[in-house]
Structure 1
Amino acid sequence: MTKASDVEQELWLFGYGSLIWKPPPHFDLRVPGYVEGYVRRFWQASEDHRGTPEAPGRVVTLIDRAHWETLVDEHSDASATTWGAAYRIPGPHVAEVREYLDIREINGYSIQYTPFHVSRSFAASHNLPAPINCLVYVGLPDNPQFVGPQDAQLLAEHIVRSRGPSGENKDYLYGLDRSLLELGEGSEDEHVHDLARRCREIEGRSSDSSVIGSELRRVGSTDEQEETEK
């Protein structure tokens, strides 16, 4: 039986990148839905999972929408909502999961909390608070791995060439694009979908793309080989 003290200590975590399809350990509920006030972009360098220090790959981060509106972005349209998945971590496992996430998300990400809105189809069959206050890892613009706006075609070419200890950068992109489409109506991210389309076109034109970052760093455990979030 769940104790009241365990319920009070439970943790909700919002995943908007690899956490959507590679969830944290010990969660007892996965909830599709969205947050507001952010824009998801492939503007975070990855030196530890989808690239190397010598040749960083690219992964997603969330950007405060008010700040994003001051930037020049080739993908100038962005939905008012950022879809992903929220995970409920029971109280007895929170400390262990936080330690795991601090390793997985260490490459430039900071902790924030944000309201998470459950998708209508899921909310209809579950009694959940509305909204849910979720922990989220965000690569802020002042972190050393933040790359900022990039030419979409050059970014796609970079992603196709990059790889790291967790595998090829393009597989991270394709996994995110596919997982977002599976979350429900309105969950597609045009920035992610356009980059995936461009990468597939690049692959189609050349079956002999050179791979940068082939000298991979050794990491300490399987858990540490999970790509950054996202």
Structure 2
Amino acid sequence: MPASVPSAPRDPAALMARTLAEWGGQRDLWLFGYGSLIWRPDFAYAERRAASVHGWHRALKMWSRVNRGTPECPGLVFGMLPGGSCRGMAYRIERAQVPRMFPALWQREMVLGVYDPRWLTCRTADGPVQALAFTLSRRSPSHTGVLADEQYRRIFQQAHGIYGSTREYAEATHAELRRLGIHDRALARLLALVDAAGPDAASGD
């Protein structure tokens, strides 16, 4: 399957139509989860496998102004950025279920059309699969660039959106990664910043 690339304008409906056309509907659909999809998939799947992707890595470097923050106090969510590798979960959705589950998935992940949907090779113990993954371009205005530790502390302390705080989101992801035996050192370091800052920083949203 070809890799999806950013389109202009960023029309979520057009991106969904193109992604489904690339899938083709002739086989079950695989989806790669690396953030909240590993602890809250919200869809029925026929199979789940531990998987790794090379050439991309998980990073808490995407602004969230609705789900985990506000326009006045933006929060953060994960994106997949180029470089390195990423361990997560690959889900197989039966072909017949895709028309029913895909619009809800798109509403969750692509309501603003920020991510670049791509078909990536996921390595699993039972062989490679081509899975849909939601990646982030460093050229995107939603990419944070480099943030100082103090900025992360402030965001973890203050940012809160309709689905909860950035801190809750990061902690839930970290907990599930650890339960699955996946050690994300970068995420662990960021969460340690909150603890190191003391109870005042750790208690707020």
Among 179, 185, 188, the alignment partner of 2:183 is 188
Aligned amino acid, residue 188 of structure 2? H
CA offset at residue 209 of structure 1?
5.5
CA offset at residue 208 of structure 1?
8.3
Structure 1 residue 98 corresponds to structure 2 residue 112: no
Structure 1 residue 115 corresponds to structure 2 residue 126: no
Cα separation, partners in 2 of 1:207 and 1:111, compared to 1, 3 Å: closer
Q: Show the counterpart of 2:174.
A: 177
Aligned amino acid, residue 143 of structure 2? F
Tell me how far apart the structure 2 counterparts of residues 156 and 116 of structure 1 sit (CA, whole Å): 33
Alignment of 1:48-67 (within 5 A): 48-65=66-83
Q: Show the counterpart of 1:85.
A: 89
CA offset at residue 26 of structure 1?
1.6
Tell me how far apart the structure 2 counterparts of residues 148 and 208 of structure 1 sit (CA, whole Å): 24
Question: Do 1:39 and 1:62's aligned partners in 2 also have CA atoms closer than 8 Å?
Answer: yes
Q: 1:104-163 deviations in whole A, cap 9, x for unaligned?
A: 112411211111112xxxx3xxxx4x2111100112122221111111342133122110
Tell me how far apart the structure 2 counterparts of residues 62 and 152 of structure 1 sit (CA, whole Å): 20
User: Would you say how many aligned residue pairs link Structure 1 and Structure 2?
Assistant: 179
Tell me how far apart the structure 2 counterparts of residues 182 and 165 of structure 1 sit (CA, whole Å): 26
CA offset at residue 195 of structure 1?
0.8
Tell me how far apart the structure 2 counterparts of residues 156 and 25 of structure 1 sit (CA, whole Å): 33
TM-score by length of 2: 0.80
Q: Show the counterpart of 2:53.
A: 35
Tell me how far apart the structure 2 counterparts of residues 169 and 34 of structure 1 sit (CA, whole Å): 25
CA offset at residue 48 of structure 1?
1.9
TM-score by length of 1: 0.72
Among 97, 107, 131, the alignment partner of 1:134 is 131
Identity value in percent? 28
SS in 1 for 2:171: helix
Cα separation, partners in 2 of 1:189 and 1:163, compared to 1, 3 Å: same
Q: Show the counterpart of 1:218.
A: none
Alignment of 1:156-167 (within 5 A): 156-167=153-164
CA offset at residue 207 of structure 1?
6.7
SS in 2 for 1:83: strand
Question: Do 2:29 and 2:94's aligned partners in 1 also have CA atoms closer than 8 Å?
Answer: yes
For structure 2, list consecutive stretches of 5 or more residues without a partner in the other structure: 1-24
For structure 1, list consecutive stretches of 5 or more residues without a partner in the other structure: 1-6, 66-79, 212-230
Question: Do 2:153 and 2:201's aligned partners in 1 also have CA atoms closer than 8 Å?
Answer: no
Quick check: 37-46 or 99-108, which moved more?
99-108
